[in-house]
Amino acid sequence: MHIFCSLCCRQKALASTGGRSVQAACDWLFSHIDDPFLDDPLPREYVLYLRPTGPLAQKLSEYWQQSKQLCGKNKAHNIFPHITLCQFFMCEDSKVDALCEALQTTVSQWKSKFPLPLPLELYISSNFIGLFVNEECADVLKKFAADFAALAASKTDVHVEPHKKQLHVTLAYHFQANHLPTLEKLAQNIDISLGCDWVAAIFSRDIRFANHETLQAVYPYMPQNDDELELVPGDFIFMAPVEQTSTSEGWIYGTSLATGCSGLLPENYIAKADECGTWVFHGSYSFFNTTSSTSNFTFGDGVLERKHQEDQGPGDITPLTIICQPMQTLRVNSQPGPQKRCLFVCRHGERMDVVFGKYWLSQCFDAKGRYVRTNLNMLHTLPQRSGGYRDYEKDAPITVFGCTQARLVGEALLESNTIIDYVYCSPSLRCVQTAHHILKGLQQENSMRIRVEPGLFEWTKWVSGTTLPAWLSPAELTAANLSVDTTYRPHIPVSKLVVSESYDMYISRSFQVTKEILSECKGKGYNILIVAHASSLEACTRQLQGLSPQNAKDFVQVVRKIPYLGFCACEELRDTGIWQLTDPPILPMTHGPTGGFNWRETLLQE
């Protein structure tokens, strides 16, 4: 194949994989066979960092996780803890080995001069928190960086600019002002006197994507058209700032790290990733260890792991490549022992037809089908329906108060640091609207999409007439500015639902779709939220616990006790398949004459 005949391509493959092995370079070439820039001689950008390892690194990792959990992500989380020694500089692919040799030689010359321990001082301002190196020791590090720059220039003809500003480890910046007290307290708990081995490490990035937003594929996607990009979970996607507003709603234009190919992709199939997630690691050299080593650093589960290649002589250093995984966010109510995932089930908010009666349509729609609200508790606008406004008779929206109820639940989840990874809901408009406003309260209405699942609809025996409701399509819901996943394929499509199904059919359907949802999300995330009907709290959780369904009469009595926004939680010990109801992470909400909802009294019945 022509790619193997090009020296430029071979050198690019080696540089892009950190020179790990010939096999890794070959794999890279094969995956980039359709990359239009494969023959482009554009060099990569490199940077020199001083990185902590050992007990101090562990403490910094814990700080990273806690600050992200309590205050959300800030700019510091884009890159692992480090001290910048040199600014980004370009180096030709053919000279990367010489660059690493220059670093190894410089470290060897400075081992005896490196400050031990390296003194750090905590600095806190209104918009920045960091650990600063005192001036005397910082001068030593800057002289080391200058020597590396000079040696690198002589060996590779690159221009390296040593960092001239104050040397420091950034802990937080670009954070909300109200988060300062929490971040300050967390930073003060870092014991900067802990033991630490500092290593000089070289990383590189593709210069073409230096100013792009870094995203990561969460779900697989097979292109339906020639201009679309295939997605493989875990692959990183680069998106230029201009593309964020230039494509149609729900779709973005990006470039795959794994293949180099570009195209359109569904926005709700990807998530934001850390800037350093796509960087390549080329080698690191310790100032304290007597033997050189290359290290593979990964932030996984909050622990800074370091894999050494021991007992190597100075000439045996083999640079490795890594993808620097972003730190994992701590989960709510995390306890020692096996990790758990949670299924949350929530009833929809207050219904318009219940509050204003079954003739509410005549109050709000004129002869031409135009909607005008006649009460402050009615929504300002309603979605347009292709079948006409009469379809609202079987598919009523929620009220303004229903929206408020839902938002309060979302805000409570946010305040409790509960992470929701996936949201599923019944196709009923009241459920979609409720799920949307819960996401608003969670501040995730723009970053998460609701999966509309017909299999979550309530017992069809309760539907009046001989036909099911004519639900709004995902496209119509999206047109109404509801955060819906238009590419989601239901487990139980509308065509499989039947009118006046038996109780056994309903219970079986609910259990089946719940199991399939849990299976679909297994290994991808921990917490799933289902927004559906009062009956769903019982139907979607009872058999998961290994309990037999109640008889229809008792089931109806349970359903009658569940108010709007009734909320329950079911947790599983990972890999055990055992589920059990547990206390929700939020307080109950009392509204109207129903009183508070006590899940334990209502659902926990043998």
User: Which sequence positions are flagged as catalytic?
Assistant: 347-348, 533
Sequence-ordered list of residues with C-beta below 8 angstroms from that of 470, at least 6 positions apart, any chain: 385, 387, 391, 394, 395
Euclidean distance between CA atoms 200 and 26, whole angstroms: 28
Contacts of 48 (CB under 8 A, 6+ apart): 84, 85, 86, 103, 145, 148, 160, 200, 201, 202
Q: Calculate the CA 360 to chain-centre distance.
A: 41
| Amino acid found at 430 | R
Query: Which alpha helices (H) appear in 522-570, and where do they start and end?
Result: 536-539, 552-559
Give the separation between CA 523 and CA 1, rounded to whole angstroms.
Answer: 38
User: What single letter denotes the amino acid at residue 355?
Assistant: V
Amino acid in position 561: K
Phi first, then psi, for residue 460 (nearest 5°) are -70, -15
**How many CA atoms lie within 13 Å of 211's alpha carbon, on the beta-carbon side?**
5
Rounded to 5 degrees, φ, ψ at 182 are -65, -45
Buried b (16+ CB within 10 A) or exposed e, 369-407: eebeeeeeebbeebbebeeebeebbbbbbbbbbbbbbbb
CB neighbour list of residue 557: distance below 8 Å, 6 or more residues apart: none
User: Residue 263, by phi and psi: left (phi above 0), alpha (psi -120 to 50) or beta?
Assistant: left
Give the full edge-to-edge strand order of the sheet including 44-53. 120-124, 128-133, 168-173, 83-91, 44-53, 197-205, 280-286
DSSP 129: E
Distance of CA 204 to the CA centre of its chain: 24
CB-neighbour burial class of residue 342 (10 A; exposed 0-12, middle 13-18, buried 19+): buried
Backbone angles phi, psi at 526, to 5 degrees: -95, -45
| DSSP-derived secondary structure for 171-226 | EEES--GGGHHHHHHHHHT--TTS--EEEEEEEEE-GGGTTSEEEEE-S-B--SST
Question: With the CA atoms of 438, 440, 445 and 451 taken in that order, what torsion angle do they form, in degrees rounded to the nearest 10?
Answer: 10
Whether a cis peptide bond, with omega within 30° of 0, leads into 585 is no
Instruction: Round to whole Å and give the CA distance between 261 and 244.
Output: 18
